[in-house]
Every structure is written in structure tokens, then in C-alpha cells.
Structure 1
Amino acid sequence: MSFPLVSIAIYNSVVFGIFSNTQRLISEHRYGNPNHPPALVDLALASMAAGTVSVGIGGPVDLVKIRLQMQTQTFLEANLNLKHRASGFAIQTAYRGPIHCVCTILRQEGLPGLYRGSLAMILRDLPGYCLYFIPYALLCRWITPDGHLSPSPFSVWMAGGIAGAISWGTATPMDVVKCRLQADGVFLNKYRGVIDCISQSYRNEGLKVFFRGLTVNMVRGFPMCAAMFLGYELSLKALREQAETNP
């Protein structure tokens, strides 16, 4: 968990920064005012921009995390899908830690190796961030009472939590594919790409495999995203107040 913990602040700041600045640029270009309330298509474009850029940072972070989590499987379990551990096979570990994992991937696969599963991540994040930021913005407008310029902290928390549950719930099928592609390659390469991974997963385990972890993702998404949006909005409010006090 050390690598995700170190990088999570940078990752989220980039995602929210890209979304906010893209939205402001679109509003300034379309309406002549960067603070003009965005239309639905404006939110969608800003969300897709954030999703695209997020892969550049999030791809390697997810890859290292998944590789370290999956490496304690035996060689046979990881690559031949045996249901029971064969006797006589000790636990094999490929990486000593996140830095060693990154160095090993770069040495064996080059820079493209750090972005294994990036296409699946793009296919997850483009619609995923649309179903993240758009529901949040719409719910904030709906929950905020008339006459109030900004939503209350509770409104932000509730809207962010619901948006997170929706986003992670709908992103689960492609998240399964992304994780399988990123876990692949520790010992052998099982999948040739996104389509092959989908085909093999469906053929071996059926349609239900793409919804594995759906409940966990939705339950996790609510508090995580609620806290994230609340921290984001409160930080913006504090910065605006500081700028007005010390112009």
C-alpha cells in the first residue's frame, strides 16, 4: 500500500485540477465567463479530459499495487488457474517492494510495461468519470436549497458519496478486465489484449465474472468519494476566502 498512499494526493489533485480547469476553459470559450454554470455537455467533456489524463498517473500506480498484491500466488496458481495448491510448490515472490517492482518492469518490458492495461483503464475511466462528476454536479444542484449560492457540506458529502457509488458500480466490468490484464505477466502472459481477456474470462467463468466485486466497489465508493469531494470543496472555499482577505 505504500506506493498508492504516496501517489494518491498527486493523482487526485491532477484529476480534480484537470476537471475544474477544463470546465472553466469551456465556459469561458462558450459563454465568455469562466464561472458560468456548465451545461451537461460541458461537464461530460471536462470529465472525459480528466479520465484521459488520469491514466497517465493512475495506470502505473494500479499496476504496481496489483502486481504486489497478486505475486504471492504460486506459479501454477497464477498462470494455470489450478483450483487447489499443488503440493511441493513454495510461494514465489517476484518483487521485493514497489521500487523493485517498477525497476523490474522497466528492465523486462520497458516503459510500455508500466502501462499494461491502459486501454482497459481508458475504457473504464472515460465513462466512469462522466458518471462521477455529472451525477455529483446534478445532485448538488438538486439538494442545494433555492437562494443558496453554494451547497452545504452535507449536500457535498451526500452528492459525492452517491456519485462515487454510481461511478464505481458502473465501472466494475471494465475494472475486472483492467485488473486481470495488469496482474498478467508476472510469470507468463495469459492475455493478448482487452478483447482476448474479455473473451477468455467470459468463456471460462461466464457473464457474472464481470460483476465480481460490484457490491464492494459501491460500498467503498460512497465514503471514499464523499470524503474526497467534501475535502475538495472545503479546500476551494478556504483558498477563495484567503485570496479575498489577502488580495
Structure 2
Amino acid sequence: MDFVAGAIGGRTETVGVQVSTLKVRIQTEPKYAGIWHCVRDIYHRERVWGFYRGLSLPVCTVSLVSSVSFGTYRHCLAHICQFRYGSTDAKPTKADITLSGCASGLVRVFLTSPTEVAKVRLQTQTQQRRPSASWPSAVPPMYSVPSACPVPKYRGPLHCLATVAHEEGLCGLYKGSSALLLRDGHSFATYFLSYAIFCEWLTPTGHSQPDVLGVLAAGGCAGVLAWAVATPMDVIKSRLQADGQGQQRFRGLLHCVVTSVREEGLRVLFKGLALNCCRAFPVNMVVFVAYEAVLRLARDLIT
């Protein structure tokens, strides 16, 4: 049931997905002075469609990834409690929750890495707006009309995955996975631990769990804290995954960190932090409310 509840809760993560494109562009392209500069540039070049570039595959797989994340966390926590205390119903310690959350983050990397590669490649593949349909017709047919922009290398997420696998091998589909492991391992440990702590603080005296408002607040704060610790490795992950559409700049994770910090300063590791946190609060409020509601419904039906 934890896997089902996680899948249903995960569907709400599609809210505000267009923020992902802004975040990746800001993290990988130093030319942007801020969020609004990036918004204006994307709209000028690609119109509204530019904000949704590369998001079809993540949207289609978000339920599966969320199901694996929450299911792994709950099952890992149950096994730890069974091993340490002799019962799956025993109250876990903060260390137990942290370890289970970390395991959840590490497991999801095997599913999300190819999806993230395709998403980042498509999001960083910028295109100019097409010229007006009436302009080419005014040119005599004996002359060829130069294209307003080069033909995009990737035509879609599946074509992108196939192209990356052909040109870079299967390892190309897991490019940046080292940074992804570091990002999701400690961020999901923070995610589930902070959620448990906030729920404990917000539970009224005499009750075993918080009310709906408590879950909303705990989920939102947990999401913000998780992205706050995840953003530095998220920047490095995006740069490593985008580093395949031209001459390769980075030799690996450490070289990417050193080069990025040397060229742009320490603040480069926090690019996209505001966007991540602004989206994380409302999204994770709804994720945890939906997750807890499904679990509560399942318990009521069983009993």
C-alpha cells in the first residue's frame, strides 16, 4: 500500500513543472543574470512551449519514481525496526528514519538518471522562434532560404535517449549519476527526517499524528529543507548531464565542481535555490497530504 500511496501522492509533483526548465537553464548557462532575465529570454526565443521543453518523460514517470521512493522508505524502515527492536510497529529513532530516507534516495537514482539526462539535454537545447510563414514565400524559388535556426539534435525524449545511447554508450544514460547519488542520498534523508520531526512537533497533545494543517506544514517545510541541501549537487548534476552536446568541458564530478567554482564563485552552487524552494513548499504539502490520506483510507478499509 505504501507504493500505491506514494504513486498517488507523486502525481501532484507535476504542479509547476515548468519551473524545472528555468532552473536548469539558470544552472547551466552563466549568461542569465536572474530568474526574470531567464523567463524573458525563453519567452522571446521559444514562446510558452519553451518552458515545457523536455518535461513529457518526467511527467509520465513521476508516479513510478514516487512510488519507489515512498515504498522503499517504508519497507526499509520496517525492516530496520524488525531487526533492531523485534517489531515493525516499534517507534523508529531519528537515525533509523535518516538511514531509510537515504536508501530511498539512492534507489530512485537508477530510475531517474536516464530521465534526467533526456530532460536536461532537451531543456538546454535552445531554439529560436520560427520565421513568419509569409517571409519565405516572398523569396524567389530559385534561391534557397537559410534556416532561422539549426535543426535540433534531439527530436524528443525517446529520440534523445536513443541518440545518447548510440553516441555515448549506455554509460551516457547515467552521466552525472555520481552527483545524482550525492544529491538524492542526503536530500531524501533530510526530507523524511524533517517531515517526521515537524509532524512530531505539530501533533496535538493526546493524538498520534497531526491534523491536515499539520501535515501540510510539515510536508512543505520538509520539501524546502530537502531542496536546500540538494541544490549544490543539483547544479553539478545538471552541468554534467548537459555536457554532451558539444565539446566536453568536464572530466568528472570533482573537476566540474572545481571549474564551476573557480569561474563563477561559490554562489554557483546555489543557482536555482530560490526556484527549487518556492516550488517545493506547495508541491510537497500536497504530496504528503495525498500520501497520508491514502494510507489512512487503506487502514480504515482493512479495519
Q: Does 2:102 correspond to 1:48?
A: yes
Find the counterpart in structure 2 of residue 64 from structure 1.
Answer: 118
Q: Does 2:232 correspond to 1:178?
A: no
User: Which TM-score applies when normalising by structure 1?
Assistant: 0.90
Pairwise mapping of residues 1-247 of structure 1 onto structure 2 (< 5 A)?
1-72=55-126, 90-244=149-303
Q: Aligned partner of 2:199: which letter? A: C
Q: Distance in 2 between matches of 1:189 and 1:14?
A: 33
What is the CA-CA distance between 1:171 and the residue it aligns to?
Answer: 1.2
Structure 1: gaps (5+ residues):
75-87
What is the CA-CA distance between 1:178 and the residue it aligns to?
Answer: 0.4
Q: Distance in 2 between matches of 1:136 and 1:66?
A: 29
Measured against aligned partners, the alpha-carbon deviations of 1:2-56 in whole angstroms (never above 9, x if no partner) come to: 1011000000000000001100111111111101111011011101110110101
What is the CA-CA distance between 1:73 and the residue it aligns to?
Answer: 6.2
Q: Distance in 2 between matches of 1:189 and 1:93?
A: 18
Q: Aligned partner of 2:209: which letter? A: S
Q: Distance in 2 between matches of 1:136 and 1:206?
A: 32
Q: Distance in 2 between matches of 1:225 and 1:47?
A: 15
How much is the aligned-residue C-alpha RMSD, in angstroms?
1.5
Measured against aligned partners, the alpha-carbon deviations of 1:104-131 in whole angstroms (never above 9, x if no partner) come to: 1111122211110000011111111111
Q: Aligned partner of 2:149: which letter? A: A
Percent identity for Structure 1 against Structure 2:
42
Tell which structure's C-alpha radius of gyration is larger: 2
Confirm or deny: 8 A CA contact 1:117 1:179 kept in the other structure: yes
Measured against aligned partners, the alpha-carbon deviations of 1:205-232 in whole angstroms (never above 9, x if no partner) come to: 1111111111111111111111111111
Structure 2: gaps (5+ residues):
1-54, 129-146
What is the CA-CA distance between 1:187 and the residue it aligns to?
Answer: 2.3
Measured against aligned partners, the alpha-carbon deviations of 1:79-120 in whole angstroms (never above 9, x if no partner) come to: xxxxxxxxx983451100011011111111222111100000
Q: Distance in 2 between matches of 1:234 and 1:111?
A: 40
Q: Aligned partner of 1:109: which letter? A: E
Q: Secondary structure at the match of 2:234?
A: helix
Higher relative contact order (CA 8 A, sep 6+): 2
Q: Secondary structure at the match of 1:185?
A: coil
